[in-house]
Structure 1
Amino acid sequence: MTPQLSFLAATLLLAACADHYTPVTFRTEGDQIVASGTIDHTTLSAFEEVMDENPGTKTLVLQNIEGSVDDDSNVVFSRVVREEGFNTVVPSNGLVASGGTDLFLAGNRRVLEPGACVGVHSWGGGGYVAAELPEGHPEHDRYLDYFADIGIDPDFYWFTLDAASEDEMHWMTASEANRYDMTTSAAPRLGTAAICDER
């Protein structure tokens, strides 16, 4: 199986078997909180616990956040990250995709280190396929309202819907990241599809 098919199989398995995933866990490294896993309804309470244990820590490193199994929980969690004044970082060997990319954008200061992987795609669920919905459909509002509140151009949302279907992943280039002001300074070279599919 090619790396791309392997990633696709893993993505489909996550979507089909929501009970079989690793929820986000947090650990501290110096003055940073490091996160890995899949966002779900438990993520916010786990984050609040680590914040309480580490007052004053304001950098959230997204080591490997492949997405979420609950979009509403993801948006609520991401809003808290923004409200609490956190900066977000995807390290050179790190990966964010789908809801993980939305979480990255919550940072007040956002850093993509050289080689970081940033994945986007359309969403599907609840009987809806986002790319097939008209632009005025209320199912888009959860995301458009979130991006408006954190100062992200709504064109980014429409870009994600066109970039890849809900069962595929588009790994962004630095020029794409810069086009949508995803970072607070110019994004460097990002991870290629071949690298990102292996992570």
Structure 2
Amino acid sequence: MKTLRLIFTFFIASSILISCSDDSNSPQTPNTTRQFGIFKVLDDNTTIEMDGTIGSSALNDFNALVASFPNITKINIKNCDGSSDDTVNLQLSEKVHQKGINIHLMDNGEIASGGVDFFLAGIQRTKGSNTRIGVHAWAAGENTTATDFPVGHANHLPYINYYVSVGFTQQQAEAFYYFTINAAPASGIHWMTAAEIAQYNIVTQ
């Protein structure tokens, strides 16, 4: 009986050791990454540096970022040439605005197309020196572009409504939107002048 008890005790102890060494049951190592797609959290834990095209994963990346770093107050954009998914871009931009985040376009930085829409999400919007802000008409496929639709068409509303949601008046939203789609074709780009940037309230100060 004593021998059986020792064997049984050894079996239980071994099972406990195996269980404790199983990674699936051990505490997870905290996520210490600071890079979330095109977003990078700086050492102050309140500022994001953004660099790249806004793609389909951008909203999920941003959600993961703010889950780990909930005190973000500012986004510094190095470069953003646009978005490959306009729906995600507008959803992401609205979330940034709702969280009360300021956005700054860094010295020598560039934003274009959907990158400009994202920039407008900032509560305060500032820019450094030697920056470029580019706009053009959107396209849906190879044969359809924004200017194919008359003023007031439903296909224009997602963008106009977005501008209103980030603080533009209806009149300002419509004026800027129709300016962008007529400034350059989808295959081109119009770099806004200082006068146009002021006229359409691109920066807040």
TM tier relative to shorter chain = 0.7 to 0.9
What runs of 5+ residues in structure 2 fail to find an aligned partner?
1-35
Q: Which residue is equivalent to 2:40? A: 27
Q: 2 CA distance for matches of 1:151 and 1:48?
A: 22
4+ residue segments displaced more than 6 Å:
none
Cα deviation, residue 24, structure 1: 4.8
What runs of 5+ residues in structure 1 fail to find an aligned partner?
1-22, 186-199
Q: Which residue is equivalent to 1:174? A: 194
2:67 counterpart of 1:47: no
2:113 counterpart of 1:98: yes
Q: Work out whether residues 38 and 54 of structure 2, in 8 Å CA contact, stay in contact via their aligned partners in 1.
A: no
Secondary structure, aligned partner of 1:124: coil
Identity %: 35
Q: Work out whether residues 133 and 191 of structure 2, in 8 Å CA contact, stay in contact via their aligned partners in 1.
A: yes
2:92 counterpart of 1:77: yes
> Which has the higher Rg, Structure 1 or Structure 2?
2
The TM-score, its normalising length taken from structure 1, stands at 0.78
Write the deviation string for residues 76-112 of structure 1: whole angstroms up to 9, x where unpaired: 0100010111101111121110000000000000002
The TM-score, its normalising length taken from structure 2, stands at 0.75
Matched residue pairs, number? 163
Q: Work out whether residues 101 and 119 of structure 1, in 8 Å CA contact, stay in contact via their aligned partners in 2.
A: yes
Q: Work out whether residues 24 and 36 of structure 1, in 8 Å CA contact, stay in contact via their aligned partners in 2.
A: no
Q: 1:37 aligns with which of 42, 52, 63?
A: 52
Secondary structure, aligned partner of 1:131: helix
2:131 counterpart of 1:116: yes
Cα deviation, residue 55, structure 1: 2.3
Q: 2 CA distance for matches of 1:166 and 1:24?
A: 26
Q: Work out whether residues 36 and 65 of structure 1, in 8 Å CA contact, stay in contact via their aligned partners in 2.
A: yes
Q: Which residue is equivalent to 2:76? A: 61
C-alpha root-mean-square deviation of aligned residues, in Å? 1.5
Secondary structure, aligned partner of 2:108: coil
Q: Work out whether residues 83 and 113 of structure 2, in 8 Å CA contact, stay in contact via their aligned partners in 1.
A: yes
